[in-house]
């Protein structure tokens, strides 16, 4: 069975869906792996490394996809008119397409996969269950995004992160405020601490308080009886009273004004990112302060973020709104992403048939499958009209 790995052509994408390490393991399953020439170059994996691992190097996308039954991608394949190559049109009918296909916010994509006769699996829709943790592309990529955000903040901040004691005087440690304590936020907290910053963080989930403190950071938020009951039995945040929201906003505004660095990490699947940092908050920050907006791809958590750019406000605050934060550390991001996909395939590999077997009754398979048998089957998209 032939498996194809394509070069990513979407703007700013530096990652690749398989590495020489995972190619060896894919071949061990009995797969014939074809890698498009140059697919791993931006992540530091030359064609020679793939060839040594046992892959065939195809000169172009058409060559890699010829006869392929499985296609691995980082981002959704380009369709007609989206770029220099109609990748979708080259994928053989009946193939299994696996990647972060971002179809929830683009329902027409799922429809196009159905029309192309593909069995499409979108890995960002993986259910957050224990059995799926080793396949969780969102967590692996968010972890690296949180790390990279702090490293770039440190590079942009012109006063240094740790407390520096010299004969000429002492430079105080940077005050780092992390907004959101999910995977990216927790890694940002840990990285900020390792670099010597004084770190504080906030999150709407009461349970996050202990996670924040366990990493040595201080929790910022209104702590009262209402907060203690602000989470449902299922782990979701409850609607808070107007009085609570006002008090919380005051506390957050004060923390932002004190901060030298603010890291924004809040994302909502398939929707615009919530605005956490208003223009007034940014204007209250000291000149030379830095805001890093990991959510820039989804519009940004900061009201002044310009997605894809780094800007400096009139008040001297630097706002880093780069897109694709995992792609800014491509070798590590590709290595983790490729292992996620390898684990998914290995978990559902039928040794006797020498092919993947994806039972729809399985919770993981049901969670990621967009299309099957020429139809859109995912419950979040099955009733959505094509855009």
Concerning whether 244 is annotated as a catalytic residue, the answer is no
Residue whose pair of structure tokens reads 């290595």 in the numeric block = 335
Concerning whether 200 is annotated as a catalytic residue, the answer is no
Q: Is 235 left (phi over 0), alpha (psi -120 to 50) or beta?
A: left
User: What range defines the domain where residue 94 resides?
Assistant: 2-135+329-376
Question: Could you give the angle at the alpha carbon of 382 between the alpha carbons of 138 and 70, nearest 5°?
Answer: 55
Over residues 167-191, the mean pLDDT reads 96
Q: Quick one: 222 and 293 in the same domain? A: yes
Q: Quick one: 314 and 366 in the same domain? A: no
Q: Quick one: 87 and 161 in the same domain? A: no
Q: How many structural domains is the chain composed of?
A: 2
Distance, in Å, from the CA atom of 177 to the CA atom of 194, rounded to the nearest integer, reads: 14
Concerning whether 133 is annotated as a catalytic residue, the answer is yes
Catalytic one of 111, 122, 136, 339: 136
Q: Quick one: 168 and 117 in the same domain? A: no
Is residue 387 pLDDT above 60, yes or no?
no
Concerning whether 59 is annotated as a catalytic residue, the answer is no
Is residue 168 pLDDT above 60, yes or no?
yes
In sequence order, the 6+-apart residues with CB closer than 8 A to the CB of 163 are 170, 171, 172, 173, 196
| pLDDT tens digits along 226-253 | 566 655 454 445 556 778 778 888 999 9
Residue 281 inside a domain? The answer is yes
Concerning whether 236 is annotated as a catalytic residue, the answer is yes
Over residues 320-340, the mean pLDDT reads 98
Q: Quick one: 361 and 323 in the same domain? A: no
pLDDT value, residue 92: 98
End-to-end CA distance of the chain: 34
pLDDT value, residue 339: 98
Structure token digits, residue 381 = 């998209």
Catalytic one of 80, 128, 245, 246: 128
**In which band, very low, low, confident or very high, does the pLDDT at 385 lie, cut at 50, 70 and 90?**
very low
The CATH number that applies at residue 197 is: 3.40.50.720
In sequence order, the 6+-apart residues with CB closer than 8 A to the CB of 212 are 181, 186, 189, 201, 203, 218, 219
Q: Quick one: 55 and 94 in the same domain? A: yes
**In which band, very low, low, confident or very high, does the pLDDT at 270 lie, cut at 50, 70 and 90?**
confident
Catalytic one of 133, 218, 241, 269: 133
Structure token digits, residue 243 = 């009085």
Over residues 68-78, the mean pLDDT reads 98
pLDDT value, residue 86: 97
Structure token digits, residue 245 = 């929201």
CA distances in angstroms from 220 to 94, 102, 211, 241, 357, listed in the order given: 51, 33, 13, 18, 47
Residue 382 inside a domain? The answer is no
Catalytic one of 111, 112, 122, 139: 139
Catalytic one of 80, 108, 236, 271: 236
Residue 158 inside a domain? The answer is yes
Q: Are 4 and 72 in contact (CB under 8 A)?
A: yes
- The mean predicted confidence, pLDDT, of the chain is 93
Residue whose pair of structure tokens reads 């049109």 in the numeric block = 89
pLDDT value, residue 244: 78
Q: Quick one: 164 and 309 in the same domain? A: yes
Residue 386 inside a domain? The answer is no
Q: Quick one: 296 and 341 in the same domain? A: no
pLDDT value, residue 269: 77
């Amino acid at each position: 069975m032939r498996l194809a790995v394509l070069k990513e052509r979407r703007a700013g994408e530096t990652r690749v869906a398989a590495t020489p390490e995972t190619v060896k393991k894919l071949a061990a399953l009995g797969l014939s792996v074809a890698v498009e020439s140059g697919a791993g170059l931006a992540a530091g994996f030359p064609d020679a490394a793939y060839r040594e691992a046992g892959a065939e190097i195809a000169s172009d996308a058409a060559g890699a996809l010829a006869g392929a039954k499985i296609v691995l991608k980082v981002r959704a394949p380009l369709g007609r008119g989206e770029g220099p190559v109609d990748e979708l049109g080259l994928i053989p009918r009946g193939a299994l397409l696996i990647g972060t296909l971002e179809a929830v916010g683009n329902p027409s994509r799922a429809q196009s996969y159905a029309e192309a006769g593909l069995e499409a699996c979108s890995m960002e829709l993986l259910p957050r269950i224990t059995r799926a943790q080793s396949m969780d592309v969102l967590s692996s990529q968010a972890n690296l995004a949180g790390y990279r955000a702090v490293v770039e903040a440190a590079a942009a901040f012109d006063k240094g992160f740790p407390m520096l004691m010299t004969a000429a005087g002492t430079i105080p440690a940077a005050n780092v405020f992390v907004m959101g304590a999910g995977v990216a936020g927790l890694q940002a907290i840990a990285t900020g601490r390792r670099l010597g910053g004084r770190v504080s963080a906030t999150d709407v989930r009461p349970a996050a308080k202990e996670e924040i403190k366990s990493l040595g950071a201080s929790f910022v938020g209104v702590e009262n009886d209402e907060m203690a009951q602000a989470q449902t039995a299922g782990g979701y945040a409850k609607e808070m009273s107007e009085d609570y929201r006002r008090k919380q906003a005051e506390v957050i505004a004060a923390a932002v004004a004190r901060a030298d660095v603010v890291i924004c990490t809040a994302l909502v699947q398939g929707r615009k990112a919530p605005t956490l940092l208003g223009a007034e908050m940014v204007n209250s920050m000291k000149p030379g302060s830095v805001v890093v907006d990991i959510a820039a791809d989804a519009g940004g958590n900061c009201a002044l973020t310009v997605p894809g750019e780094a800007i400096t406000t009139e008040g001297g605050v630097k706002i880093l709104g780069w897109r694709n934060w995992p792609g800014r550390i491509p070798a590590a991001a590709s290595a983790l992403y490729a292992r996620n996909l390898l684990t998914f395939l290995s978990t559902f590999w039928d040794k006797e048939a020498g092919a993947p077997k994806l039972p729809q009754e399985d919770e993981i398979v049901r969670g990621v499958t967009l299309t099957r048998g020429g139809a859109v089957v995912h419950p979040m998209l099955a009733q959505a009209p094509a855009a």
